[in-house]
Structure 1
Amino acid sequence: MGFTMGLNLLLLLAMVATNILSLYHLSSNSPSTAANNPSTASHQVPDHLIHQLTTIRATINHLTRRHHNPNSAAGNSAAAVPPADLLLYSQLSPIASACHAHPDLLHRFMNYTPFSLCPSSSDDLAETLILRGCHPLPRRRCFSRTPPKPSSSSLPQNPFPSSIPDSYLLWNRYSCKSLDCLNRMNPILGFDLGKEVTNFVSYKSELDLPVPQLMQIAKAANSVLRLGIDIGGGTGTFAARMKAYNVTVLTTTMNVFAPFSEVAALRGLVPLHAPLQQRLPVFDGTMDIVRCGRAVNRWIPTVALEFLLFDIDRVLRSGGYLWLDHFFSKGVDLEKVYAPLIGKLGYRKVKWATASKADSKSGEVFLTALLQKPVTK
């Protein structure tokens, strides 16, 4: 009884609103104006009124159908509720609406002169929008700014070149204006290729997994490594090392404070300009290995990390490998939160090594884990 009365009240309010809008429209279009210029009479209806009338009419039709078939409406009410996972994911990694949630940034990003050079602030705005879930970005009709074309002979063929000329990069958006400056600011960023050449080659601690050993593990398990993804791979050193073994690895990276993507590309590697909350842009069951670098750590919300792990499971083929490289968290959280979370995948543990962080005062630990997806999945 209460449901029927409420439905009737909504119908009454909708019809009253329609009549009020119709009277407003009739009063705002005088007969003399329409008579003098009948060809323009149809163009005098404001767009927002048309939209409001259309919405109200659609609401009336919907409520009328429910009024005539209340049993069906009540029976299907549960089916009309969006799945809980959709609502949850829309908060963790907003779907499309994330762009609308930042109209000021979006307006600045789309404020450009068509068919000319893109504004100099485009890259900064793109990074900001992507990190807030607005990805993929809206398409634009302007030309991206690029550094001068390098000669073909000067482009390095070796992914571990002795140096990369600063002139191959655009520096206007960064505080540092050279690779030397970046190396002095933070030598572990991955821009010192002389040091990067020693990574993934040999053991430094139990947390390391040298690529030669990784290839031996795969060979012993009769697994072929051909394609992979390095999530948060910086300048692409893991992809560079795997290239020597004829393994193609895509590197997801963001240009946060430094030109990670450009340097990876200059090394002959493929950078995917993608944030951690984005669905991996590859098809299901096609990757042989997915590595999570130090960008994947405890700072990611737990449920967001769970979505990431299951998206990794989506792209891995049966028998493929997930490599968590130096995952950082508190020891108690690793035991009570992250280990059970990783265990939900049901993967076989090939390597599981933990070590305390040096000079740790809060019980922080590192985890390196190599896990194999079951063949039966």
Structure 2
Amino acid sequence: MVCQSLNPEVPNGNQNEVLMKTVEMVIQKIEEELDKLRETKQDPSLTPSVFQQGAFLSDILGLLESAAASHQQNEGNNQQNEIRKYVRIKPNRLGKQNFMGENASFTSIGHTCFAMKEELEEYMDYDVGEICNDDWKLAQKLMVHGCDPLPRRRCFSRSPKLYKQPFPVNESLWKLPDDRNVRWSQYQCKNFACLAGNATRKGFFKGVDCFNLTNHEMPRWIFLIGLDLSVGTGIFAARMREFNVTIVSANINFGAPFNEMIALRGLVPLYLTINQRLPFFDNTLDLIHTTRFLDGWIDLVLLEFILYDWDRVLRPGGLLWIDSFFCLKVDLYDYLQAFKMLRYKKHKWVVVPKLDKDEQEMFFSAVLEKPHRPFR
């Protein structure tokens, strides 16, 4: 009836098209107005009516977008609809500001996601309420290429077919987990014994010894809480756990189930790419440890962004432990300058040649203490 009232001379199909274009124009205008309100909401001179206007616009926007999404369900494919539903602004149901002072919820998605249209649509192609596809490797590909954070999905993640209760913590730290607790379909090895025995050199070579839980060195420092950014299975976190120190292990699954292994040892995995801002508040960590993770492949500007982010979450007096960073000899000066830029106190600073590369590559290790910086 609505479409017919627009213009009885226009066929229904064209009327629907005109209606949707009109709705899209209105949505765009409301979004522009909301952007202006967000920019000015810190102004103390604003009256309550301005916030009421924002709440009203958010409510109308939500209704229009919901109507548009419902209309497009019959025309677009399922994955595109799921993406639209995820990224649209969600107005508060009560029509007023929530405890965070916002009139609506704004979901985040990596900007590069829309440059990987085919992969993103494949990732979002699922049946709502059903089991998700076995596509964690596709999800990781999107994350590594900058589609981070990924959109949430409305399907149930796949689990191992025969999941067994993990070992108690007094056993789990130094015992290989049960093979049934991992989905092995995307890995060349199909059990932990294969990984521990280094039966294949293919895949991510830096992890070949990570699953052998014997003969690892004892820790040299003691802390309360920290972050380990290293390729591995949580060896550093396990050693610290024995001394009642909590270490979160940031990792992604390059060729092996690193995150599953960390969790099955009773440790805390953090599924995180190098592209992402650390999800910790400022000045909260005692320690950041990294080994064989940030090496001479990394762009210098990106390294600076990462180091400043590490500085943000380290508390004053916290330690940055760089273990075995390696790079080409010709690049060594530039990389060392990046670390010196932090102006941390040096407890250890060692540079040695990498012997298997005819001294054309160098190792760098350091233990650096974040200084106390007075507020300015």
For the 8 Å contact 2:322–2:365, the answer to whether it is kept is yes
Query: Hey, what's the Cα distance between the residues in 2 that align with 1:192 and 1:311?
Result: 27
Query: Hey, what's the Cα distance between the residues in 2 that align with 1:252 and 1:347?
Result: 23
Q: Does 1:333 align with 2:331?
A: yes
What is the aligned counterpart of 1:230 among 209, 212, 228? Answer: 228
What is the aligned counterpart of 1:142 among 147, 151, 155? Answer: 155
| 3-state DSSP of counterpart to 2:356 | coil
Residue aligning to 1:117: 131
Q: Does 1:184 align with 2:202?
A: no
User: Cα–Cα, structure 1 residues 266 and 55, in superposed 2: closer, same or farther, change >3 Å?
Assistant: closer
Task: Give the superposition deviation at 1:257.
Answer: 1.1
What is the 5 A alignment of 1:1-377? 30-32=7-9, 45-48=18-21, 50-51=23-24, 96-120=110-134, 122-147=135-160, 148-151=162-165, 154-155=167-168, 157-182=170-195, 183-186=198-201, 189=207, 193=211, 195-201=212-218, 211=219, 213-215=220-222, 225-335=223-333, 337-361=334-358, 363-376=360-373
Query: Hey, what's the Cα distance between the residues in 2 that align with 1:56 and 1:317?
Result: 44
Name the structure, 1 or 2, with higher relative contact order (CA <8 Å, separation 6+): 1
Between structures 1 and 2, the one with greater helix share:
1
Amino acid at match of 1:372: E
Once the two structures are superposed, what CA deviation does each residue of 1:109-133 show, in whole Å capped at 9, x if it has no partner?
Answer: 000011111112x211111111011
User: Cα–Cα, structure 1 residues 364 and 50, in superposed 2: closer, same or farther, change >3 Å?
Assistant: same
Query: Hey, what's the Cα distance between the residues in 2 that align with 1:41 and 1:304?
Result: 50
Query: Hey, what's the Cα distance between the residues in 2 that align with 1:228 and 1:57?
Result: 44
User: Cα–Cα, structure 1 residues 250 and 30, in superposed 2: closer, same or farther, change >3 Å?
Assistant: same
| 3-state DSSP of counterpart to 1:262 | helix
Residue aligning to 1:5: none
Query: Hey, what's the Cα distance between the residues in 2 that align with 1:230 and 1:48?
Result: 50
For the 8 Å contact 1:190–1:196, the answer to whether it is kept is no
Q: Which moved more, 1:172-181 or 1:319-328?
A: 172-181
For the 8 Å contact 1:242–1:248, the answer to whether it is kept is yes
Q: Which moved more, 1:162-171 or 1:294-303?
A: 162-171
Query: Hey, what's the Cα distance between the residues in 2 that align with 1:54 and 1:149?
Result: 47
For the 8 Å contact 2:262–2:268, the answer to whether it is kept is yes
Query: Hey, what's the Cα distance between the residues in 2 that align with 1:54 and 1:111?
Result: 26
Task: Give the superposition deviation at 1:191.
Answer: 5.9
Query: Hey, what's the Cα distance between the residues in 2 that align with 1:32 and 1:274?
Result: 56
Query: Hey, what's the Cα distance between the residues in 2 that align with 1:119 and 1:57?
Result: 36
Amino acid at match of 1:214: W
Once the two structures are superposed, what CA deviation does each residue of 1:194-248 show, in whole Å capped at 9, x if it has no partner?
Answer: x4443232xxxxxxxxx1x323xxxxxxxxx211000134211100111011110
Q: Aligned Cα RMSD in Å?
A: 3.1
User: Cα–Cα, structure 1 residues 151 and 97, in superposed 2: closer, same or farther, change >3 Å?
Assistant: closer
Query: Hey, what's the Cα distance between the residues in 1 that align with 2:127 and 2:292?
Result: 39
Amino acid at match of 1:184: A
- Tell me, which stretches of 5 or more residues in structure 2 are unaligned? 1-5, 33-107
| 3-state DSSP of counterpart to 2:207 | coil
The count of corresponding residues between Structure 1 and Structure 2 is 290
For the 8 Å contact 1:159–1:269, the answer to whether it is kept is no
User: Cα–Cα, structure 1 residues 165 and 58, in superposed 2: closer, same or farther, change >3 Å?
Assistant: closer
For the 8 Å contact 2:174–2:214, the answer to whether it is kept is no
Percent identical residues: 37
Amino acid at match of 1:51: E
Task: Give the superposition deviation at 1:46.
Answer: 3.9
| 3-state DSSP of counterpart to 2:321 | strand
For the 8 Å contact 1:265–1:271, the answer to whether it is kept is yes
| 3-state DSSP of counterpart to 1:359 | helix
Query: Hey, what's the Cα distance between the residues in 2 that align with 1:107 and 1:343?
Result: 43
TM, length-normalised to structure 2: 0.70
Larger-Rg structure: 1
